[in-house]
Structure 1
Amino acid sequence: MVDTVARHPGCTCRELLMVLGIEGWNSLSKGRLNSRLYRLRTEGYLDWEPGIGYERRWYCDVLHGDQAPEDASPATSETIAEELTFDLERFLKGFRHVVVEEPAVPEGIELYDWQREALEAWEDHDHAGVVEAVTGAGKTRVALAAAADVLREGGKVAILVPTIDLLHQWKREAERLLIQTLRLNVSIGILGDGHTANLARCDLLFSTVQSACHNYLLPDSVPEHVESLLVADEVHRYGSESWARALEPPFGRRLGLTATYERSDYGREEYLDPYFGGVIFYVDYERALDEVIIAPFKIAFVGVSFAADEQEEYDEYDAKAYKYRRTLIKDYGLPEEPFGEFMREVTRLSKTGEEGARLAGFYLNAFTRRRKVLAATRSKYDRLEDLIGAVRQADKTIIFAQTKEAAERAAAPFVESGISGAVLESGMQRLERKRVLAGFETDDYELVAAPKLLDEGIDVAAADLAIIVAASASRRQMIQRMGRVLRPKEDGHLARIVVLYVEDTSEDPEVAHEGFLDLVTGVARNVEYFFTDASPKQLCSYLSP
């Protein structure tokens, strides 16, 4: 393998597969080759550089010697040159799409139709507004296309993110698209994670919102005539008094990105809308599916039942929540529907000194305790064993839980059955987290389980099966979790989403999820309910790729 890469440096995985096919490796799949390439990279024999789009072009770091793996035959610079000349002639004769000459610099970032329309809508709204698009649709490219226009004019761009992981993820993507693809000559800085740059010292700045709240992104030393753009990723997160301080008034252009522009308080109306001007473009599942920017999908709602002690505990908190809710609606005028609006009012009231604040706090406490009972019910984890066959059939699987302990508990039956898996959680060291994510990409792990860490933003390898152990009442969280497995599949097969729920409770999809079921029912390829008497065979049959 190393010898082949040495003789054909700069080839993508697909191109190497063609070369190996010529050399007689006809049974090798792209997935197995990709896994082998990454394994050799971790062992220090190969490395890759970004190509066009999401391509990775492979190069050999070790050509010969004691450090070469068993499948690398000894080679000299002369023999490599001879073999390279011969093989490339044969390769190019059969596959003329392989371009050796330097590619022309594209005029702009390649965009889907919806991305171009979103940019036009943003421009029509005086370069201000929020783009709301389902997770996986490609909001990052919209922002980087807007950034490219400003940077070409000699302007300044700041990209605001809520986490350090996202900060570095955005920086890598910007370097790939703006510098390597568009060849823009711009300087890049970071504010956060130990760095203290601002736009007086660079052209393109990446900052965490925490750091931006205490430092100027666009100092007064930047001349007023210089065009400036602020991009706010996961913009719904910034609708609080403290984080809204990062939304600096001097920026002439403003672009917010989100999968769901909603909050449980009035931060959107108080802070976000006045700054960005509200949503100016929206992409739902139907549009995303029509443009083949997400994979078609089907959903399995899998029901379980409480044990007697769990039912008793649930009933206690459910009765309290019901009583407090009725009183808040009847005596304090809180809206009964939609539920999200009611929760916004409860949260607001609980933080005031107004009459009813104490009762609002009682309701939120009962609501939280009821949700914990639902998340921890033993029958959900027993039911996971029925999904072992489905996980074995899947390409990769992501399990969503509410806590680190729940994630570990959810992964256990799969790992014990011989499926390679790992748990991701926010308390891990960043290098350890990167190791797990890299292992998931290279197929060292077939499954990862995580609490809320993967709900927003973090780039994770494409999976085709999601198992949601703790079904959220938040439509936003359900949309974000689904988005983790909705990247289009090379062979066009369906993504599958499993939602575990306790029957006849507030978690039941017939009454929960803030309209989430209505959102997906019309666009999912199929939605099926599996009650407690459904067999593992029935589940695996439905969830087959």
Structure 2
Amino acid sequence: MSAEPGLTGRQYANKAKAAFPDVTRKDVNRCLYSSALFHTPGSEIPAWHVTANRPRARPADVIQPPEPQHPRVGFAERGNSPFPAGYVADAETKRGLSRWQLEAYESWVANDRSGIVEAVTGAGKSRLALAAIKEILTVGGRALVVVPSKALLHQWASLIRTELPNQELGRLGAGHQVFAARITVAVVHTLVRNLARFADVALIVADEVHGYGAPVFATALLSSSFGRLGLTATLERTDDAVDQVLRPYFGKSVYTCNFSTARRDGRIAPARIALLGVPLAEDEREVHDEAVERKRMAKFELTNNYGIEPKDNFFASVSRLAASDEGPASEFARLYLAGRSAESNILANARGKRRLVRKFSNLFKGDHRGLIFCERIAAADEVADMLGQDGVRAKALTSRVPQPLRETYLSQLLTGEIDAVTCATALDQGIDIPDIDTAIIIGSNQQKRQMIQRLGRALRTKRDNRSARIVIAYAMDTWEDPMTNGHRREFVQIAKEAAENLRDFGAEWSPREVFQFLDPESESNARYALSDELPMHTALLA
């Protein structure tokens, strides 16, 4: 290595094998990643160098990265209850609630009108919140709905105008500055600069509440509010803010509505879900395996030699350590994050996944409209172009698209002027598209919430009661593969709860077979199969 610096682990392994035939690439990687004598600048495929006489820090020498400072919130500062003793909500407050919504509302009331409700996308969380808002209005209180985006601001405002047409409605954010209203919908970024205007709010509804654990957004959790209702698909974060910020403020999770419960209540459409395995190309596999090995070795060092706990908030701890300057410990933290990033890039941009979408472009023809969830903007753009070549009217909706044009694309999707929208994460939360019946998910779902949100986009009930058709692609022999990753089986369980019928096709599938599963009553499945000549694990690599 001293004579030929800057080679990859694979290249050094090949040289080592010439002299020692029993040496494997894994042996070489283990040496490279476990010894401080070697280092890499952290490129996607690491180029290795010798670092002579670099000392190894002992665990006692490592200063643990500082914990994030959270604002002080909790029940101690709650405002006085605006409800008279013995108050019971009238029938009008609870009118129109489904079974799960009524159960959740009563659980929230029993918890002194504080708590978090976890409900899958499409189940109707906003309708539950309307009951809480109606109740606070009957006793003369003000209500504040906090949202993370302009799109949700408009969506909530439209819902409130429709359901409570006689109530004064204010909006804050997206060019609106109406403060003194009985009900205000506010974008959190704007709200935190105007908190003094809302000191008398009696009820705060925090939509997508998992996002308000960040220090700057946590200041929007008004200590004076008596009623506190948090809404989310699932309460998870990569840091400790759930326990340090959200639960102290809102209290416990008072109700959970999963897909099974939502399906019981008729809140989501029936669905058929196909899981399809996709192989990585040889060059993708090389980079992927190198990145996984880098992660594994770095994690071993961090957990065994530098005192980083392997569970709980591991990622947050590693991120803080990587941003600090603690010698070898920080370098291992950066190595771990570089490996994680390289692994994610490969899975997000796997060519086989994009080719899979093209195999099923006919899903979006006829009267069917849908979404394709990617993980990167470039992939969303490329998939939209590929679909266009197959006669599908598709648009890429990403963060680079101006908001007015995003709204135009969604409107065209609803009216049938376009057939499909590809996206990265722009549609992961807060967008209600009722008549979408088809979805293909090729982006990695690293969190349960993301999987729930993406499934929920296609599972909303349709005006004509049609079923949803969903394809979920996963890269085989990676952490996405439920056959090799026990954690991913939890994601499969979520899909099973959502589906009327689910089938994991594994690697051996043909488009014709999948179409027949997704739409068994169709008489035109034969024409849908664009390439049945080769087995799919071969065709997708072609």
Whether the TM-score (by the shorter chain) exceeds 0.5 is yes
**2:278 and 2:93 mapped to 1: Cα distance?**
55
What's the offset of the Cα at 1:132? Answer: 0.5
Question: What is the total number of aligned residue pairs between the two structures?
Answer: 427
**Shift in alpha-carbon separation, 1:353–1:128, aligned structure 2, 3 A:** farther
What's the offset of the Cα at 1:206? Answer: 1.1
Aligned residues with identical type, % of pairs = 35
**Shift in alpha-carbon separation, 1:204–1:490, aligned structure 2, 3 A:** closer
Instruction: Check conservation: 1:420, 1:447, Cα contact below 8 A.
Output: yes
**Shift in alpha-carbon separation, 1:348–1:282, aligned structure 2, 3 A:** farther
What's the offset of the Cα at 1:391? Answer: 2.9
Match for residue 535 of structure 1 among 510, 525, 537: 510
1:428 and 2:395 aligned: no
1:205 and 2:180 aligned: no
| TM-score, normalization by structure 2 | 0.74
Match for residue 524 of structure 1 among 499, 507, 513: 499
**2:465 and 2:149 mapped to 1: Cα distance?**
33
Instruction: Report the equivalent of 2:195.
Output: 216
What's the offset of the Cα at 1:532? Answer: 4.2
1:167 and 2:148 aligned: no
**2:206 and 2:489 mapped to 1: Cα distance?**
25
What's the offset of the Cα at 1:394? Answer: 6.5
**1:142 and 1:121 mapped to 2: Cα distance?**
12
1:399 and 2:372 aligned: yes
Instruction: Report the equivalent of 1:499.
Output: 472
**2:110 and 2:324 mapped to 1: Cα distance?**
40
- Secondary structure (helix, strand or coil) at the match of 2:365 reads helix
Instruction: Report the equivalent of 1:258.
Output: 232
What's the offset of the Cα at 1:217? Answer: 5.7
Instruction: Check conservation: 1:300, 1:529, Cα contact below 8 A.
Output: yes
What's the offset of the Cα at 1:530? Answer: 3.0
**2:285 and 2:95 mapped to 1: Cα distance?**
55
1:234 and 2:208 aligned: yes
Residue type at the aligned position of 1:343: F
Match for residue 346 of structure 1 among 318, 325, 330: 318
Instruction: Report the equivalent of 1:291.
Output: 265
What's the offset of the Cα at 1:508? Answer: 1.3
What's the offset of the Cα at 1:279? Answer: 0.7
Instruction: Check conservation: 2:108, 2:254, Cα contact below 8 A.
Output: yes
**1:150 and 1:289 mapped to 2: Cα distance?**
30
Instruction: Check conservation: 2:396, 2:421, Cα contact below 8 A.
Output: yes
**What are the equivalent positions in structure 2 for 1:374-453 lying under 5 Å apart?**
374-392=347-365, 395-453=368-426
Instruction: Check conservation: 1:166, 1:458, Cα contact below 8 A.
Output: yes
Match for residue 137 of structure 2 among 135, 151, 174: 151
Instruction: Report the equivalent of 2:125.
Output: 139
Residue-by-residue CA offset, 1:271-306 (whole Å, 9 max, x unaligned): 111110121111111111111111222321212222
| TM-score, normalization by structure 1 | 0.74
**1:236 and 1:219 mapped to 2: Cα distance?**
21
- Secondary structure (helix, strand or coil) at the match of 2:371 reads strand
Instruction: Check conservation: 2:93, 2:134, Cα contact below 8 A.
Output: no
1:122 and 2:108 aligned: yes
Instruction: Check conservation: 1:387, 1:539, Cα contact below 8 A.
Output: no
What's the offset of the Cα at 1:359? Answer: 2.5
What's the offset of the Cα at 1:411? Answer: 2.1
**2:93 and 2:256 mapped to 1: Cα distance?**
26
- Secondary structure (helix, strand or coil) at the match of 1:313 reads helix
**Shift in alpha-carbon separation, 1:332–1:292, aligned structure 2, 3 A:** farther
- Secondary structure (helix, strand or coil) at the match of 1:261 reads coil
Instruction: Report the equivalent of 2:85.
Output: none
Instruction: Report the equivalent of 2:276.
Output: 302
**2:136 and 2:286 mapped to 1: Cα distance?**
60
**Shift in alpha-carbon separation, 1:165–1:416, aligned structure 2, 3 A:** same
Residue-by-residue CA offset, 1:223-281 (whole Å, 9 max, x unaligned): xxxx7101100000000111101111011111100001110101111111111012111
Gaps of 5+ in 2: 1-90, 521-542
**Shift in alpha-carbon separation, 1:408–1:504, aligned structure 2, 3 A:** same
